[in-house]
A and B are shown apart, each in its own frame.
Chain A
Amino acid sequence: MITLNHYLVLAAILFSIALVGILRRKNLLLLFFATEIALNAINIALAAFSKYLGDLTGQLFAFFIIAIAASEVAVGLGLLIIWYKRTGNIDLDSLQSMKW
């Protein structure tokens, strides 16, 4: 029998995979991918809560997270493209112009 804990552990594992991506990626585009994974992991947890608690709120939260992810992609990619046009790379370590 699959319980809530199964889903939560799965979500935790996926979230940790996303964390690995966030920590080791220097390429901004791939960093975005990692954040998408993290968001999806949370969505699974929310949907699982929704089912096992018999409450729709979890699912609705997941909808809003998807909406946020979509806008994040739109704005983030736009910025990324501009940055690429200016500097010719999208390496995270090059984003240091604010450094004193």
Chain B
Amino acid sequence: MEKYLYIALFAPLVSSLFAALFATKPKKLFVGIVASILLFISFVSSAILLSYLAGTEEIVKVTLFDWITTGKLNIPFGFVVDEVSVIMMVTVTLVSTLVHIYSIGYMEHDKGFNRFFSYLSAFVFSMLILVMSDNFAGLFIGWEGVGLCSWLLIGFWYYKKDEPREVNPSISPAWAANEAFIMNRIADLGMLLGLFLIYWHIGSLQYDVVFAHVDMFSISVITLMGIFLFIGAMGKSAQFPLHTWLADAMEGPTPVSALIHAATMVTAGVYLVIRSFPIYSQIPDIGFYIACLGAFVAVFAASMALVNTDLKRIIAYSTLSQLGYMFVAAGLEAYWIALFHLMTHAFFKALLFLGAGNVMHAMNDELNIFKMGGLYKVMKWTAIMMIIASLALSGIYPFAGFFSKDKILEVAFDSGHYLLWFTLWVGAGMTAFYSFRLIMLVFFGEERYKKYGFHPHEAPWYMLAAMAPLAVLAIIAGFFEEPFEEFVTRLLPEYHFHIHGILTVALVGLTTLIALSGIALAVYKYSHGGFSEKWKETFIYKLLYNQYYIPILYDKLFVEPYKELSKIAWKELDLRIVDATVDFIAGVIYSTGFKGRVIQSGNLSKMLRWMVIGLLILLILVVVYSMAR
């Protein structure tokens, strides 16, 4: 089985290196095809591992080589395939394979075609390291690796010019990439502190060692560990207040948004919390805080999605909101439910993004949904698949989201935090509304695109074919709930519901009700011309539309003062002290050389004189040295 582990892990690396060979060359179709095939091989190996693990209950562990060995610190490059990581592997490799195939079509006319595949495969490799590592150090390497690839891919069109915030809320791809990178660095600092704390107290970073010893420490130490690790998770999963980068990250190509910023990388934070469940189950208070933050983000992000006009940003806020749901489940110790929602979400959110990519292609990269409408006639298949994804997202039976999201709501109710449940319940209504607002504005109603002179067309068959498996999974994934629970609870703790029978049914009914009414409201409103213009003048609309003014606040609060500080450091510190010192040294050397130049006069008798002076100095040294001795 180790063979399959290595194949699954290294096939994306091979793909990345292969594509990198052609990075500066013009588009080569076979690069995309080879990359997709290698990714598919990786997926097949992951699937084989999954079936092996399901059949034999044997965890596959390998150690590639000793990586860091100094003193007491011993970190091997070890990988583990257990119930959690194999689920992540299958999800990641499946979505990435489909995104790779889809990208062949999507990036067709891009001059960075080969480079794109190199980055994308490198991302998959890093993500696999993240989920497969058997220690926190390896996880951190993968963590940073996906961060780097995310930076590369958000800034893929780095040559686009900066624009003012009013024109483009994310300014430019390069700006958005840097924002994402810096935000993640802030969070990673917290995560590093967490790792140091763990090593400091336990003396190892291996999962099994750490988790076996974690209950030996006082609750305050474990609390600190939990907080620091969660800060890391907050950055990667874009939780408030480090959430602004995710919406701006939509500047990247759409397949990137589908793979990285919806399905895989942003869920790494959830994965971390799930993976560290022995730590978090010791500290239910922190878990409750995580759940509260998750619920807050779920509603907070959904509210921003309600009014946004940017196709991809709406979906990005939706991702943010769904991540909040996952954290609620993880925080309330329903780890397997969080993982389940992570998986189903990966399928339907990637599908939604790929559909959005098709729409963008059809509309020449236009993103304003108010310039679209009536696209159902020309893009029937895309529309159907996006409706499936939206239904799944809204949590309508029998789609995947119904099973996972309702479970989270049940957990919230069951744990006795009714306010939490109510928040999520409202969030579910908002989710349904904004999803179908999007569908209505893009695919139905008046054909506004004709005004703007667009000529939309359906995407090529292989792009649709790449989306089809995701659509199927978005429909059926929910029915695997029971085998999934049985499988992952071998490792993760089970969650025991206290509520039964009629109450459960009532909860499901309530949730479905609000989701359906959200859908109904959206369908009704936008098939009758939408909201009035007056609504746009209200304070709430403006607040939501400007993302609660948080990016501007960050600008004023952090960016501007930092700029000022940098200017002071530049003018006062750098120019006056650092540069002056360097210039002084250079000046001394220069003037010494200028004055010493006369020694090299080319006149032999002068040279002889210098030689004798040198001899004299040597003799003096001999005398001084022998006397000193």
**Residues on A facing B (Cβ under 8 Å):** 19, 22-23, 26, 92-93, 95-96, 98-100
Q: Which of B188-196, B356-364, B401-409, B603-611 contacts A (4 or more CB under 8 A)?
A: B603-611
Q: Across the interface, do A23 and B608 meet the contact criterion of CB distance under 8 Å?
A: yes
Cα–Cα, bound, A99→B606 (Å) = 13
Q: Across the interface, do A99 and B605 meet the contact criterion of CB distance under 8 Å?
A: no
Q: How many A-B residue pairs have CB under 8 A?
A: 22
Residue of A nearest to B611 (CB): A22
Q: Which of A19, A23, A26, A100 contacts B602 (CB under 8 A)?
A: A100
Take A19-B612, A22-B612 as given contacts and tell me if A98 and B602 are in contact as well, using a CB distance cutoff of 8 Å: yes
Q: Across the interface, do A96 and B603 meet the contact criterion of CB distance under 8 Å?
A: yes
**Residues on B facing A (Cβ under 8 Å):** 601-605, 608-609, 612
Residue of B nearest to A99 (CB): B602
Q: Across the interface, do B603 and A22 meet the contact criterion of CB distance under 8 Å?
A: no
Chain A interface, DSSP helix/strand/loop, else mixed: loop
Chain B interface, DSSP helix/strand/loop, else mixed: helix
Q: Across the interface, do B605 and A93 meet the contact criterion of CB distance under 8 Å?
A: yes
Q: Smallest CB–CB gap between A45 and chain B, Å? A: 15
Known: A22-B608, A100-B602; 19 extra A-B contacts, CB below 8 A, are: A19-B612, A23-B605, A23-B608, A23-B609, A23-B612, A26-B605, A92-B603, A92-B604, A92-B605, A93-B603, A93-B604, A93-B605, A95-B604, A96-B602, A96-B603, A98-B602, A99-B601, A99-B602, A99-B603
Please list 6 pairs of residues, one from A and one from B, whose beta carbons are closer than 8 Å in the complex, sorted by A's number. A23-B609, A26-B605, A92-B605, A99-B601, A99-B602, A99-B603
Within 8 Å CB of B608, what residues of A? 22-23
Cα–Cα, bound, A43→B137 (Å) = 72
Cα–Cα, bound, A24→B444 (Å) = 106
Within 8 Å CB of A95, what residues of B? 604
Cα–Cα, bound, A93→B612 (Å) = 18
Cα–Cα, bound, A43→B603 (Å) = 30
Residue of A nearest to B607 (CB): A92
Q: Smallest CB–CB gap between A27 and chain B, Å? A: 11
Q: Smallest CB–CB gap between A22 and chain B, Å? A: 6
Cα–Cα, bound, A92→B605 (Å) = 7
Within 8 Å CB of B605, what residues of A? 23, 26, 92-93
Q: Smallest CB–CB gap between B600 and chain A, Å? A: 9
Within 8 Å CB of A23, what residues of B? 605, 608-609, 612
Cα–Cα, bound, A98→B595 (Å) = 20
Cα–Cα, bound, A59→B603 (Å) = 37
Q: Smallest CB–CB gap between A30 and chain B, Å? A: 12
Cα–Cα, bound, A19→B605 (Å) = 12
Q: Smallest CB–CB gap between B614 and chain A, Å? A: 12
Q: Smallest CB–CB gap between B225 and chain A, Å? A: 70
Within 8 Å CB of B601, what residues of A? 99
Within 8 Å CB of B602, what residues of A? 96, 98-100
Residue of B nearest to A19 (CB): B612
Residue of B nearest to A22 (CB): B608
Q: Smallest CB–CB gap between B8 and chain A, Å? A: 67
4 interchain residue pairs of minimum CB distance: A99-B602, A92-B605, A96-B602, A92-B604
Cα–Cα, bound, A99→B612 (Å) = 21
Q: Smallest CB–CB gap between B286 and chain A, Å? A: 76
Q: Smallest CB–CB gap between A39 and chain B, Å? A: 16
Cα–Cα, bound, A22→B613 (Å) = 13
Cα–Cα, bound, A92→B612 (Å) = 17
Cα–Cα, bound, A26→B608 (Å) = 11
Cα–Cα, bound, A96→B601 (Å) = 9
Q: Smallest CB–CB gap between A19 and chain B, Å? A: 6
Within 8 Å CB of A26, what residues of B? 605
Cα–Cα, bound, A93→B603 (Å) = 6
Within 8 Å CB of A100, what residues of B? 602
Residue of B nearest to A96 (CB): B602
Q: Smallest CB–CB gap between B622 and chain A, Å? A: 13
Q: Smallest CB–CB gap between B619 and chain A, Å? A: 11
Cα–Cα, bound, A92→B603 (Å) = 8
Q: Smallest CB–CB gap between B212 and chain A, Å? A: 76
Within 8 Å CB of B612, what residues of A? 19, 22-23
Q: Smallest CB–CB gap between A91 and chain B, Å? A: 9
Within 8 Å CB of B609, what residues of A? 23
Cα–Cα, bound, A22→B608 (Å) = 7
Cα–Cα, bound, A26→B609 (Å) = 12
Q: Smallest CB–CB gap between A11 and chain B, Å? A: 15
Within 8 Å CB of A99, what residues of B? 601-603
Cα–Cα, bound, A19→B602 (Å) = 20
Cα–Cα, bound, A32→B608 (Å) = 13
Q: Smallest CB–CB gap between B191 and chain A, Å? A: 61
Cα–Cα, bound, A100→B597 (Å) = 12
Residue of B nearest to A100 (CB): B602
Within 8 Å CB of B604, what residues of A? 92-93, 95
Cα–Cα, bound, A95→B604 (Å) = 7
Q: Smallest CB–CB gap between B606 and chain A, Å? A: 9
Residue of B nearest to A91 (CB): B605
Cα–Cα, bound, A92→B601 (Å) = 13
Residue of B nearest to A28 (CB): B604
Cα–Cα, bound, A18→B442 (Å) = 103
Q: Smallest CB–CB gap between A33 and chain B, Å? A: 14
Within 8 Å CB of A22, what residues of B? 608, 612
Cα–Cα, bound, A95→B607 (Å) = 12
Residue of B nearest to A26 (CB): B605
Q: Smallest CB–CB gap between B626 and chain A, Å? A: 16
Residue of B nearest to A20 (CB): B612
Q: Smallest CB–CB gap between B601 and chain A, Å? A: 7
Q: Smallest CB–CB gap between B232 and chain A, Å? A: 63
Q: Smallest CB–CB gap between A20 and chain B, Å? A: 10
